[in-house]
Copies of this chain bind each other. A is one copy, B any other.
């Protein structure tokens, strides 16, 4: 599903929304009176365009355009989705919402990125309160799937339903917050941790770097995949959640936290934290840090995707929704994708093993095409690779668009032979070739056997059609 999105306010968050919508095939209009808006959005888009496609193995929609327009009216006219990301002042939000509703279609979703206001507050005095909902994303918007979708009682059900569909279609996870509260859900945790961290630094217990290490070498790794409660359920062991609570419930009364007080936000505290942060990360510029963060997020998300777990499962499902049939060209185009950051090695180019994986992916697409798909495999049949010969003709680097063409050069009984060619998309340069010999197997006996008739038939036909021009 694609459409037209209007982004009102083009800072880090608005720019992130613009980039995600455009990379998912939406046409995007941005309105932001800031003279620096074009440069800022360009920088966010450049970050996003490098990494978001790396999360997908499926070919993505053709990229939509991002257009900066001169007025709010122009931006929102005809939009399917309007995202408001202006500064966190309620009077400003009310004014902007009134302007948006004067020009946008009634069927559009009007979503606010606010972290501080409830939807009912945004709806005060609005022409059509039912159209308004909070869609609170997390930075970087183009990589993190979470978006808190918070309606009020006045929000139309049809708007909520459409918002969920659209957010899912652009690869996000809409967490429907059923009761509006200050700061929604996630920011309440961030706020609690932030307060505690300020105390630790202020009291000289730990530096900003020590605190970051205490998080990223420990519970941060747990939370990235299971969150809080499932982690504790596991910690409770065989007796589960109830046991965990019996064991740790009483600690709540202990003097472990200082959270009952708010640290005073003095210049001294700001200087202390800014100085420690400089000592920790000051050797890297903001672009380096953004790149580091994004590369790590891509690597973590891809690792979870490979496991089919947590946020990776969301991406896997989204990836599947992007796939279509291969068509009937000769040769077949089996893979279209970008080279992700985790495929490179010490020579700073794509590792030879990843060429093998790419050709393996190409043969999996071919298998699906001939009917040896996941259901066929689940029923106990598959093809195993017996032999490959790969020629590495040109280097390939992270971020490059590539595609693989595949011919069936032999399809007789249990034997299947494929000829893959990997190309760079920008100039069609041949990057590598692979001669791959597979055997059909029974997954029960793990021995070779003929494919089921419906697969055998398609393979034989394909071999005949592909015979012309085969080397």
Contact = CB atoms under 8 A, between A and B. Distances in A.
A188 B182 contact: no
Contact of A205 (B178, B234, B256): B178
Interface string A170-184: 000101011101110
Contact of A225 (B234, B293, B384): B293
A146 B214 contact: yes
Contact of A295 (B252, B257, B307): B307
A212 interface: yes
A35 interface: no
A225 to B, nearest CB: 4
Contacts of A293: 222, 225-226, 231, 234
Contact of A196 (B188, B221, B249, B390): B188
A246 B273 CA distance: 12
* Interface size bracket, A side: 35 or more
Contact of A175 (B175, B200, B217, B377): B217
Nearest to A220: B223
Nearest to A378: B346
A392 B388 CA distance: 8
19 contacts: A12-B237, A145-B218, A181-B203, A181-B205, A182-B255, A183-B254, A190-B219, A192-B257, A221-B224, A221-B311, A237-B286, A241-B277, A245-B270, A250-B265, A299-B303, A303-B303, A346-B382, A353-B353, A387-B392
B347 A233 contact: no
A300 interface: yes
Contact of A281 (B190, B222, B230, B274): B230
Interface of A: 12, 116, 138-139, 144-146, 148, 173, 175, 177-179, 181-183, 185-198, 200, 203-206, 208-231, 233-235, 237-238, 240-242, 245-246, 248-260, 262-263, 265, 270, 273-274, 276-278, 280-281, 286, 289-290, 292-293, 295-297, 299-304, 306-307, 309-311, 314, 341-342, 345-347, 351-360, 364, 374, 377, 382, 384-392, 395, 443, 446
A341 B185 contact: no
A223 B227 contact: no
Contacts of A297: 221-222, 225
A12 B225 CA distance: 20
A191 B257 contact: yes
Contacts of A263: 252
A310 B387 contact: no
A215 B230 CA distance: 11
A263 B386 CA distance: 61
Given A226-B293, A229-B277, 16 more contacts: A175-B214, A178-B206, A183-B254, A185-B205, A186-B218, A194-B228, A197-B229, A220-B224, A229-B280, A233-B277, A241-B278, A249-B270, A296-B310, A353-B359, A387-B389, A387-B391
A395 B195 contact: no
Contacts of A238: 286
A277 B145 CA distance: 23
Given A196-B192, A388-B352, A229 B211 contact: yes
A217 B185 contact: no
Contact of A391 (B211, B346, B386): B386
Centre residue among A211, A290, A355, A382 by max chain B CB count within 10 A:
A211
Nearest to A235: B139
A185 B256 CA distance: 10
A192 B189 CA distance: 8
